[in-house]
Structure 1
Amino acid sequence: MSRFFKFSALWLLSLFVFSCGNSTEDQQPQTEGFIRFKVDGVQKEFKANPMTPMSFSFDSNGPAYNAILQVLGPGSTGTSNFVQFNVWNEKIFETNVDYQMQQSVSYRGAAIARINFTYSDEQGQLYNAVLLKQNLPNIEVKNDATVRFTKITNDWAEGTFTAILIGPVTTSGIGNQERSISEGQFSIKLVNLTP
């Protein structure tokens, strides 16, 4: 009986030791993404749908690389409670680079904003940053945005962002209310279509 107890204890101890993984093992792939940010200091967090991942692509017409992200918040109708941005770049996206909206990109020979950023609140009021200051020297342009990728793998992207948005946008023009997007973070499935 004593021998059985010792053997059982030794077996359980061995099982415990060998079942504990070490920290260098590959972690399971992430399956649920998110985007979180503050709008004028109010925290927002949306779960990302794996069927609508971030995508990287190359537009040979530009030519330019493009990163697109759109995430719908809880109860979104598709026209309310969502965040969307796209980033244009001259070369493949890299980690730890601040992509800034007001640093223009040449697209078909014309200077365009490096980032277009849109946020729609729960009531469907649309705010965006799309205007490039250098193209409108006679008006005050407050639009701005920055996106930084902190992780890019074959199928996942993470990063941070901030933006100053103007709106609400209506059929007759753009309002003059400012919305500050701060402390933005995303962790989302990536489909990389770049050559």
Structure 2
Amino acid sequence: MLNLFIAGCSKEDDNTNLKSEYYFRFKVDGNQVEYPFTPETQINLTGLLDYDERMQTYVMNVGGIENIFESMTNTLTIFVSDTQEILTGINYSNISGSSVTVPYFSFGMGYYDSEGNLYITGLNTVTELYETAIVNFFEITDTHISGTFSGTLIWYDFNGGTNVLVDSVVVSEGKFKVPRY
């Protein structure tokens, strides 16, 4: 199951340079969505790259949240975990194809819409549940992570022991530059 990482905390900071430097925007079914960075009240755009010694995997997690105090709505997270170092300029995807790299350990993208419905994608197992999603990291520095993303995310009802397709959304033109923590 998709592991959604949502880190946020209140922070008092009026640095307008940081506010204008960071962004998280994308389209959902053609409609523009943007989560502006609001460091004066919350840390709602986050990036994390770490190495998990126990699992021996590199872990990249990027998240954009409209309001951390309502994190089950208007949130998009990207999770990539691989045994190889996560690099810039690589199209990471959950489904193999030409010009993409499928992480060995995990790939996930999740989006909570304004109603709190969760649309997800992940690595397919024997039963193919998910559509293609792609993320490409352009910059990974000590201070920030930037890149692009897109994909078709699925809302399944997992209750009752079966996976029932409820809806899907197309996420396109996703771009982010988030602070790295």
With the shorter chain as reference, the TM-score category is 0.7 to 0.9
Q: Sequence identity, in percent?
A: 24
Structure 2: unaligned runs, 5 residues or longer: 1-15, 97-101
Deviations 1:123-150 (A, max 9, x none): 1111000241xx22xx443332111111
CA 1:63–1:75 in 2, change beyond 3 Å: closer, same or farther? Answer: closer
TM-score, normalised on structure 1?
A: 0.69
Please tell me the residue identity of whatever aligns with 1:101: N
Deviations 1:93-147 (A, max 9, x none): 22211111225444xxxxx4x4211001101111000241xx22xx443332111
C-alpha contact (below 8 Å) 1:126/1:169 kept by paired residues = no
C-alpha contact (below 8 Å) 1:49/1:71 kept by paired residues = no
Please tell me the residue identity of whatever aligns with 1:85: I
Deviations 1:152-192 (A, max 9, x none): 2211111000111110556455534221111000011012x
CA 1:102–1:140 in 2, change beyond 3 Å: closer, same or farther? Answer: closer
Q: 1:151 aligns with which of 131, 139, 144?
A: 139
Q: Which residue in the other structure is 1:91 paired with?
A: 84
Find the structure with the greater CA-based Rg. 1
Q: 2:18 aligns with which of 18, 25, 31?
A: 31
- The CA distance in 2 between the partners of 1:144 and 1:131, in whole Å, is 9
Q: Which residue in the other structure is 1:120 paired with?
A: 112
What secondary structure, in the 3-state scheme, does the structure 1 residue paired with 2:60 have? Answer: strand
Matched, 1:165 2:157: no
C-alpha contact (below 8 Å) 1:76/1:122 kept by paired residues = no
Q: Which residue in the other structure is 2:11 paired with?
A: none
CA 1:170–1:75 in 2, change beyond 3 Å: closer, same or farther? Answer: farther
Structure 1: unaligned runs, 5 residues or longer: 1-28, 107-111
For 1:14-163, list aligned pairs within 5 A: 31-32=18-19, 33-50=22-39, 51=43, 53-73=46-66, 77-103=70-96, 104-106=102-104, 112=105, 114-132=106-124, 135-136=125-126, 139-163=127-151
* Count of aligned pairs between the two proteins: 154
C-alpha contact (below 8 Å) 2:80/2:107 kept by paired residues = yes
TM-score, normalised on structure 2?
A: 0.73
What secondary structure, in the 3-state scheme, does the structure 1 residue paired with 2:18 have? Answer: coil
C-alpha contact (below 8 Å) 2:93/2:103 kept by paired residues = no
